[in-house]
A and B are shown apart, each in its own frame.
Chain A
Amino acid sequence: MLHAAVLLPFLAAFFIPFIYRGVKQVHLGWFVLAVPILLFGYFLTFINGVLKGVHTLKTFEWIPSLGVNVTFFIDGLGLFFALLITGIGSLVVLYSIYYLSKAEKLGHFYVYLLLFMGAMLGVVLSDNLFVLYTFWELTSISSFLLIGYWYQREKSTSGALKSMVITVFGGLAMLGGFLLMSDITGTTSIRGIIENADLIVNSPLFTFILILVLLGAFTKSAQFPFHTWLPDAMEAPTPVSAFLHSATMVKAGIYLVARLSLVFAGTDLFFLIVSGFGLLTLCWGSYMAVRKTDLKAILAYSTISQLGMIMAMLGFGTKAAILAAVFHILNHATFKGSLFMVAGIIDHETGTRDIRRLGGLFTFMPITATLALIGTFSMAGFPLPILNGFLSKEMFFKSSLHFEHASPIVEAVSPFFPYFAVGGSIFTFIYSVMIFFRTFTGKQRDTLEKQPHEAPIGMLISPMILVALVVIIAIIPDTFGHLLLAPMVDSVTNLVVDPHIKFWHGLYNPELYMSLAVLIFGTLLYMTRTKWVRIYDVLPGKMSAAKVFDALMNGMVKGSEKVTNIYMTGSLRHYLVYILTFFIALLAITMSVTGGFTLSFDDLAPIALPEVMIAVVMAVAAFGTIFMNNRIAAILVLGIVGYGLSLLFVFFRAPDLALTQLIVETVTVALFLLCFYHLPDLDKEKSSSGTKVVNWVISISVGVIVTLIGIASHSTKMFEPISDYFIKNSYKLGGGDNIVNVILVDFRGLDTMLEILVLGLAAIGIFTMIKLRPGKKGGNE
């Protein structure tokens, strides 16, 4: 049943194109809508079990020999994310029905969306590391497809490419971490790894594992400095931005850190990296968001900073911090989803998302404005107890003040954390307020392409539900705390917490003052923002992660082009130099390391004078060939070497070889003469003295090496030769006296057959090369 549930989106995605072709009258989204609603209902039924501590586990054997089985596992954390994915998924599909017109390629859109939904469910429910990784990459791919949905636009494709490069980079790093973890613990199950956490923490590879896994989580969840893909992913249709890039996919990294924090948490390294980068992301994201003028870009940076905040809390690792983190995951999904939908509505109804061109929309779009008001103020953590963002922000402040686990590093670093938290929150306040006031209040500009008006009710339903949830969660946080958050904290830390969330922490609590400080400083800074906005020319200035990324990509392309151009010169002479250099180096090193150069004079034959003379003739002729300036002369002198060789064969009593060598030599000389007619005269070699020296060194080294190996192989006889067998059996078994010929056609006939094949192919090749001349008619010259 559980497997069927995860499989359902994929199955639906398979049938979508058929429905799209078949049913033209009804918007395709209505059919798709059934899937997430069904799944949402199905996952709701697990709440009871999870509350009682019952963890559902279903296994389907996939590759049992490698220990990779599709095991799905439902505990508090997995269930929460499954509900989030299917719940927000339903709302997004509903919203997209009104957002996307029927003229779009709806079939593509919903196939990608369903693929993504199924993959995401797989990520959060998998118990097997490698199944998790499979689904993880599937989310990257479907996200890539969704970002590039309007593939005619250059920005969409470049945004899609960027997100793909960064997330897949992280995904691969994560796979490395997973492999190390499963190797150390001997299991591929996440629960098994958590049980064996001490093996990992004590292993010498712990640092590597942690960094590799966190690379995966940080790239997916857009943590500094990998956040740069998220703003560019805003080229996707707004429902996609709302679903993937605020509520679900970017939380996959959060999920991973939460899921594995039972393994890593408690170590200083985890604490430093996760909370450090989380806070950095929080501050940098909110700081950068203030600078943006595009609604979706502000929301993208806002998502980055909120994800940083959640990550930081996961890094703190205290009970209160984890509770605050999971609470904020829920809150962020609600208000950020609704804000993206609001941004989409504004875009849809006015034709622009640029806040410099918007203003005074309150009177035209009162409902949208109200939704935006609640959403933005909740995001800002405005101190009103009917906004869930306020509650989780208070808890964030509180958790940044108290740290449980004591180690010198933690004690040295943690006092600075509240300042970062407040600093990031001040900027969060500024941009949240900016989104609302600059869009909905002030003067109305008359530059808009459309006359602004209220959105259709269908488009408003989804953000309304989400905003309603914002308020409901804030009013009855305890209910949600008991139902969803407590089991989640339990899965993250193995601790039972009191999920009681207070509306009001009392007057004398530091976190309230922190909130008030955020409110006061935020308001002041917002009022005076024209005065200090120049700071952006200084601090990000010309540096930003996007520019670094572009420079890296360009640098890699140009650098690899340069490197390739250095050695791929197109000159065969150079390639031959590489090949021979490696030949010399490898053989010389191997032979000298293994002591292969041996010399023994044991069974050498006596040398006769004629042999010496023939050798001298051949050597002189071979040497003479090099210095010939005339092609004909060169080939004639080379012919002497060939004839000398055949004479050596005669001396060494190999008549068959001598015969063949003679014929081949003659034919070769004749062939060379045939070719030379068509070639220009041989030029005097003009290469520089440097190249000449290199050529000499290389050729002499090759000669020396081959000679040494020849001598060495003669000096080391490890086995008796098998030729005695041929001598004894050539007549008995082969029926012939000529041993060479019996070997060629009888004992080792297969080689001969293939040599014949080679000759045949060469003949056919020559024939085709001469006859077939593309570009000329008739084939003949």
Chain B
Amino acid sequence: MTSLLSTVSTICIIVIAISTLFLLYRAIKGPSNPDRAVALDTIGINLMAIAGILAIKLETQYFNDIILLIGILAFIGTVAIAKFLEKGVIIERNRD
């Protein structure tokens, strides 16, 4: 791996980590639960990015599954939280 790529990826990880810290501030501080939900969703996206950059740094393909999975889970989780915040339930009962 060229030294340039290595340096760039390290810088990227650090920047993303700093942004994660800010997101953490938002998640803890709130002030409302939707704020936290959005912060958590964005943290999930950041995780995808970190995993991707890490895969480049470590020159491995094994993390690709993880990136995809985080994407799916972050989506599902955010939908679940959103539904909960809106209706108070996640899985609605049949109305028949």
| B36-60 contact mask (Cβ, 8 Å, vs A): 1 or 0 | 1100100110010011001000101
* Beta-carbon nearest neighbor of B13 in chain A: A610
Contact of B28 among A616, A621, A643, A673 (CB under 8 A): A621
What total of A-B pairs shows CB separation below 8 Å? 99
Q: Say yes or no: is A696 at the interface (Cβ < 8 Å to chain B).
A: no
- Asked if B90 and A674 make an inter-chain contact with CB atoms under 8 angstroms apart, the answer reads yes
A650 / chain B contacts, CB cutoff of 8 Å = 50-51, 54, 63, 66
Which A positions have Cβ atoms within 8 angstroms of B? 609-610, 613-614, 616-617, 620-621, 624, 630, 632-633, 636-637, 639-640, 643, 646-647, 650-651, 653, 655, 658-659, 662-663, 666, 669-670, 673-674, 677
Which residue from chain A places its CB closest to the CB of B61 in the assembled complex?
A655
Q: Does B86 sit within 8 A of A, measured CB to CB?
A: no
Contact of B77 (CB < 8 Å), options: A624, A630, A669: A669
Give the interface centre of A636, A658, A662 by most chain B CB atoms within 10 Å.
A636
Q: What 7 pairs between A and B have smallest CB-CB spacing?
A: A613-B17, A624-B28, A655-B62, A666-B73, A636-B36, A673-B84, A610-B13
Q: Is the interface of A mostly helix, strand, loop or mixed?
A: helix
A640 CA to B24 CA in the complex, in Å? Answer: 8
- Taking a contact as CB atoms under 8 Å apart, the answer to whether B17 and A610 are in contact is yes
A610-B13, A663-B73, A677-B88 given; A637·B62 CB < 8 A: no
For chain B, the count of residues having a C-beta within 8 Å of the partner chain is 40
Q: A620-B28, A651-B54, A655-B63 are in contact. Are A613 and B14 (CB under 8 A)?
A: yes
Whole-angstrom distance between the alpha carbons of A640 and B40 in the complex? Answer: 7
The answer for the CA separation of A677 and B84 in the assembled complex, in Å, is 8
Residues of A within 8 A of B27 (CB): 621, 624, 636-637, 640
Q: Provide the residues of chain A in CB contact with B91, threshold 8 Å.
A: 674
Q: Report yes or no: B66 in contact with A621, Cβ–Cβ below 8 A.
A: no
Chain A residues with CB under 8 Å of B24's CB are 617, 620-621, 640
CA of A677 to CA of B33, assembled, Å:
14
Q: What would 25 A/B residue contacts be, using CB atoms closer than 8 Å?
A: A609-B14, A609-B17, A610-B50, A613-B21, A614-B17, A617-B20, A620-B28, A624-B27, A632-B33, A633-B30, A633-B36, A636-B27, A637-B28, A640-B40, A646-B47, A646-B66, A647-B47, A647-B51, A650-B54, A663-B69, A666-B73, A666-B77, A669-B81, A674-B89, A677-B84
* Smallest Cβ-Cβ distance to B21: which chain A residue: A617
Chain B contacts for A613, CB-based, 8 A: 14, 17-18, 20-21
Cβ-defined contact, A670 with B77, below 8 A: yes
Q: Which residues of A contact B88 (CB under 8 A)?
A: 677
B96 CB within 8 Å of chain A: no
Q: Find B66's partner among A610, A659, A677 (CB 8 Å cutoff).
A: A659
Chain B residues with Cβ under 8 A from A620's Cβ?
21, 24, 28
Instruction: Kindly list chain A residues whose C-beta atoms are within 8 Å of the C-beta of B18.
Output: 613
Beyond A633-B30, A659-B65, A677-B89: 12 further Cβ-contacts under 8 Å?
A617-B17, A620-B28, A632-B85, A633-B33, A640-B40, A647-B47, A647-B51, A662-B70, A669-B77, A669-B80, A673-B84, A674-B90
Q: How close is B9's CB to chain A, nearest CB, in angstroms?
A: 10
In the complex, A670→B79 CA distance in Å? Answer: 10
B8 interfacial by beta-carbon distance below 8 Å: no
Contacts of A651 in B (CB 8 A): 54
With A624-B28, A639-B40, A640-B43: A662-B80 Cβ-Cβ less than 8 Å: no
B63 neighbours in A (Cβ, 8 Å): 650, 655
Most buried by A among B47, B54, B60: B47
Q: Is B76 an interface residue (CB 8 A)?
A: yes
Q: How far is the CB of B65 from chain A (nearest CB, A)?
A: 6
Determine whether the beta carbon of B37 is less than 8 Å from that of A636.
yes
Bound CA span A501–B9, Å: 117
Interface residue from A621, A636, A647, A670 paired with B33 (Cβ < 8 Å): A636
Q: How far is the CA of A637 from the CA of B26 in the complex (A)?
A: 10
Query: How far apart sit A490 and B21, CA to CA, in the bound complex (Å)?
Result: 97
Contacts of B70 in A (CB 8 A): 662
Taking CB atoms, residues of chain B closer than 8 Å to A624 are 27-28
Q: Is the CB of A610 within 8 A of B14?
A: yes
With contacts A633-B33, A636-B27, A643-B47 taken as known, whether A662 is within 8 angstroms of B14 at the C-beta atoms is no
Closest CB of chain B to A652's CB: distance in Å? 11
A residues in contact with B51, CB < 8 Å: 647, 650, 658
Question: With A and B bound together, what is the CA distance between A133 and B77 in angstroms?
Answer: 71
Smallest beta-carbon distance A38→chain B, Å: 83
Q: How far is the CA of A659 from the CA of B14 in the complex (A)?
A: 23
B47 to chain A, nearest CB (A): 6
Nearest Cβ on chain A to B6's Cβ, whole angstroms: 12
Q: How far does the alpha carbon of A43 sit from the alpha carbon of B80 in the complex, in Å?
A: 91
Out of A633, A637, A658, A670, which one reaches B80, CB within 8 Å?
A670
Q: Tell me whether B81 and A636 are in contact (CB under 8 A).
A: yes
Q: Give, as a whole number of angstroms, the nearest-CB distance from B61 to chain A.
A: 10
Write the B3-18 contact mask toward A (1 if CB under 8 angstroms, else 0): 0000000100110011
A673 touches B80 (CB 8 A): yes
B78 to chain A, nearest CB (A): 10
Least Cβ–Cβ distance between B92 and chain A, in angstroms: 12
B58: chain A residues at CB < 8 Å are 653
A673 vs chain B, min Cβ distance (A): 5
Closest to A738 in B: B62
Contact between A673 and B81, CB atoms less than 8 A apart? yes
B50 touches A647 (CB 8 A): yes
Q: Which residue of the partner chain B has the closest CB to A672?
A: B84
Chain A's nearest CB lies how many Å from the CB of B57? 10
- For residue A643, which residues in chain B have a CB less than 8 angstroms away from its CB? 43-44, 47
Q: Which residues of the partner chain A approach B44 to less than 8 Å between Cβ atoms?
A: 643
Q: Which residue of A lies closest to B39 (CB)?
A: A636
Q: How far is the CA of A146 from the CA of B3 in the complex (A)?
A: 98
- CB-defined contacts of A663 to chain B, threshold 8 Å: 69, 73
Q: Which residue of A has the minimal Cβ distance to B54?
A: A650
**Inside 8 A of B10's CB, which chain A residues have their CB?**
609
CB nearest neighbor in A for B84? A673
Q: Closest Cβ of chain B: how far from A6's Cβ, in Å?
A: 76
Contacts of A616 in B (CB 8 A): 21
Give the residues in chain A near B84, CB-CB below 8 Å: 632, 673, 677
- 8 Å CB contact of B90 from A637, A666, A673: A673
In whole Å, how far is A415's beta carbon from the nearest beta carbon of chain B? 91
Q: In the complex the two chains form, is A659's CB within 8 Å of B69's CB? A: yes
Q: Closest A residue to B58 by CB, please name it.
A: A653
Q: How far is the CA of A478 from the CA of B77 in the complex (A)?
A: 105
Q: How far is the CB of A233 from chain B (nearest CB, A)?
A: 70
* A731-B58 Cα distance, complex, nearest whole Å: 23
Rounded to whole angstroms, the CA-CA distance of A636 and B20 in the bound complex is: 15
Residue of B nearest to A647 (CB): B47
Closest to B25 in A: A620
* Bound complex: CA A674 to CA B76 (Å): 14
Of all chain A residues, which has the CB nearest B30? A633
The docked-state distance in angstroms from the alpha carbon of A630 to that of B36 is 12
B7 CB to nearest A CB, Å: 13
Enumerate chain B residues within 8 angstroms of A646, measured Cβ to Cβ.
47, 66
Write out the residue numbers on chain B whose beta carbons fall within 8 Å of the beta carbon of A609.
Answer: 10, 14, 17
Residues in B neighbouring A639, C-beta threshold 8 A? 40, 77
Q: How far is the CA of A620 from the CA of B20 in the complex (A)?
A: 12
Expressed in whole angstroms, the minimum distance between the Cβ of A631 and any Cβ of chain B is 10
Determine the chain A residues whose CB is within 8 A of the CB of B66 once the complex forms: 646, 650, 655, 658-659, 662
Q: A609-B14, A636-B27, A646-B47 are in contact. Are A655 and B21 (CB under 8 A)?
A: no
